[in-house]
Structure formats: C-alpha cells, structure tokens
Chains A and B, each alone.
Chain A
Amino acid sequence: MSTELEKYLNSQRETLDVESPDDQLIWEGIRQDLHSSASHRGKKRMLIRIRNIAAAVIILVSVGYMINDIFGDRILGGGVSLADIDGELGKREQEYRTLVNFKLEEARIFNHVDNIIIAELLEEIQKLDTIYEQTMKDLAELGHNEQVIHTIFDTYEKKIYLLELIIIENNKIRNYERDESLYL
C-alpha cells in the first residue's frame, strides 16, 4: 500500500533535482578520460567517431526544446566544418559542440521564455548564431584563416557563457517559485 509520502516522491520526482554539478569540471574530465583511454588503446579515430555519435545522441535527447527555433541546427549542422580544414581544430570544435549541447539540455529543463532577462539572453544567442553563420561562410571562402578560426571559437565560448546565464536565471526563478508555494 502506498503512503502519501510515496505518492509525493513519485509525483514530485523531477522537482527534487535541486543540485547542480560543476559542469565545466566534469566535461573537462570526460574529455581527458576519453582522450587518454583512446590514445592508450591507439584508437584516436574511434574517439572522434564516438564523440561525433555522442554529440548526435545528445542532440536527439534534447529534442523538444522550446528554444529549438533559436538554437536549431545553425551551430550544430552546417556545410563546412573546421574538421574539413584541420583534424585537431575539428576535434576542438566537436568538444565545444558537445558542451553547448549539454548546456542546451540543462537550459531546456526549466526554461522561462517569458522572463525578460532570458528573452534578452536568447536574443544575444540569436545574434551569435548569425555571426557564426557568417563566419562559416568566411571559412568556406578563405579556408585556414586565424582570425576566422578565432571568431568561431569565440562564438562558441560566448554561447556557452550565455547558456550558463540562462541556466542561472532559470534556477533563480525556480527557487523563487518554490519559496512562493511553500507552506510550512
């Protein structure tokens, strides 16, 4: 027979996830783990392939975001990629993509689009996506160009930073709503 407490735990399962890990630290660790184990086994190619699949899976898992229209495929898909120019750069780009997808997944969970700060942050991301698209065109035209490559990574870093801000803002709203509904 289930008690009220069991019913509560069952129905409130998602809201109990109140803690956040140090994402940056964990992803850096995962990156190093994958890198070291792969080189240890001499399977560098396999590693890149795994990462590609992993990124693709994360995208699949992340379907249904409300922010999908904004983030869409712009930064994830595309014709020319850095991997076409240089394998190492391609690897680095893949890591950024994985991190972006991880942040997107986190931002999706409790997203508050009606919040003015989040709306502004989304707008900024939209601008970044436009810059990214333009930079990718430049890359296709110019090939290996330091400034273009720098801009691409800079765009990823700024996007990750903005997503972090959205996550923080979401958490703030969530905590506020929780306090509001609290009866003690």
Chain B
Amino acid sequence: MYNIAIRFLNNKMDAEDILQESFTTAFSRLEELQNKDLFGSWLKRIVINNCISLQRKQKIAFEEIDEQRHREVDEMDEGMPKVDPALVHRAIKELPNKGRTVLVLRALEGYSHKEIAETLDISVSTSKTQYSRALSLLNKKLKGKIDVN
C-alpha cells in the first residue's frame, strides 16, 4: 500500500500520512464492508482515492489534451532488457505528476481508461494521451538509466 501511495505522491511523508489516514478510514468503516475477504482491495481503493484527493488539494490539474498530440510512444520492439525494479520504481516517481497518476492507475493498478476518466474527472481521450506520454517518457528515462549504468 505504501508503494502505491509513494508512486502517486512521490513524497515519503505524504505517502505515510495517506497510509495512516487510509487505514484509519478503513478500520472505522469496517462495518460497511460486506465481504471481509475483500479488505485488501477495499483498502487499496481507499489509498488510491485518498492519493488522488490529496493531489487535487495540491492543485494538480488533469487538463484536457489535444488527442492528435499523443502519438509519441516509442515502442520497445526490441524487447525489455532485464532492469532493476528499483530503477523502474524510481523512474516512475520522476514522471510528471499528471502522467504518473494515469500510468500508475492504468499499468500498475489495472484501471481502464474509462475508470481513470471517471476517477480523475477527465475525458477518456485525455487519459489515453496522458498514459501514452507517460509511457513514452518512462521508456526514455529507463533507456537513459540503463545506458548510464
């Protein structure tokens, strides 16, 4: 849960605060949870919602983007080399806030673009655009890191 939060917020203290707040919320609303086996995914949802809510407070706006401008993904057709997961984690955290949020939701948390659009209050095409850009940027960052090391 902590790693989800820190990937969203890129700040240790904020992530710890969100984790604490989410556990407190979950524990105090536990009676609302019908199926206790779903506690893990329920808690994860609370963490994600709290992260997004904090981002909103921090005024990270998910503005609409022109759809035509998002065709810039560099496909890694040559395949992914073996990369240290810590490097990938760090590279994700270095992504710009908006793209990072969409990328984390889509690629790591399995949200559909429709769900992302609803969660972040943006259009589906903006979600796709942000995602595509973030993926492209992450790709470049990783290539850079691999080359450097």
Contacts and interface: CB of A to CB of B under 8 A. Distances in A.
Interface of A: 3-10, 12-13, 15-22, 25-26, 29-30, 33-34, 37, 50-51, 53-54, 56-58, 60-61, 178-179, 181-184
Interface string B80-100: 111111101100100000000
Given A6-B107, A18-B89, A33-B24, A26 B3 contact: no
B27 A51 contact: yes
Contacts of B30: 50, 53-54, 57
Interface residues of B, number: 45
Closest 9 CB pairs of A and B: A17-B3, A4-B76, A33-B24, A15-B85, A21-B2, A29-B20, A183-B82, A9-B107, A8-B80
A178 B87 CA distance: 11
Interface stretch (B32-40, B59-67, B113-121): B32-40
A29 B15 CA distance: 13
A117 B47 CA distance: 34
Interface string B11-38: 0100110011101101110110000110
Contacts, number: 110
Contact of B135 (A5, A13, A50, A182): A5
A50 B82 CA distance: 45
A3 B73 contact: yes
B72 to A, nearest CB: 12
27 contacts: A3-B135, A4-B76, A4-B80, A9-B88, A9-B107, A16-B7, A16-B88, A16-B92, A18-B89, A19-B3, A19-B89, A21-B2, A26-B16, A26-B23, A29-B20, A29-B24, A37-B28, A50-B31, A54-B26, A54-B27, A57-B39, A58-B39, A60-B37, A178-B84, A181-B82, A183-B82, A184-B84
**Residue of B85, B89, B139 contacting most chain A CB atoms (<10 Å):** B85
Contacts of A22: 16
Interface of B: 2-3, 6-7, 12, 15-16, 19-21, 23-24, 26-28, 30-31, 36-37, 39-40, 73, 75-86, 88-89, 92, 107-108, 135, 138-139, 142, 146, 149
A4 B20 contact: no
A22 B13 CA distance: 10
Question: Binding site of B, secondary structure by majority: helix, strand, loop or mixed?
Answer: helix
A30 B27 contact: yes
Given A25-B16, A34-B27, A57-B36, A5 B139 contact: yes
A184 B85 contact: no
Contacts of A60: 36-37, 39
Given A26-B19, A60-B36, A60-B39, 16 more contacts: A4-B79, A5-B139, A7-B80, A8-B83, A9-B107, A9-B108, A12-B88, A15-B85, A16-B89, A17-B3, A17-B89, A18-B89, A19-B2, A56-B36, A182-B84, A184-B149
Contacts of B92: 16
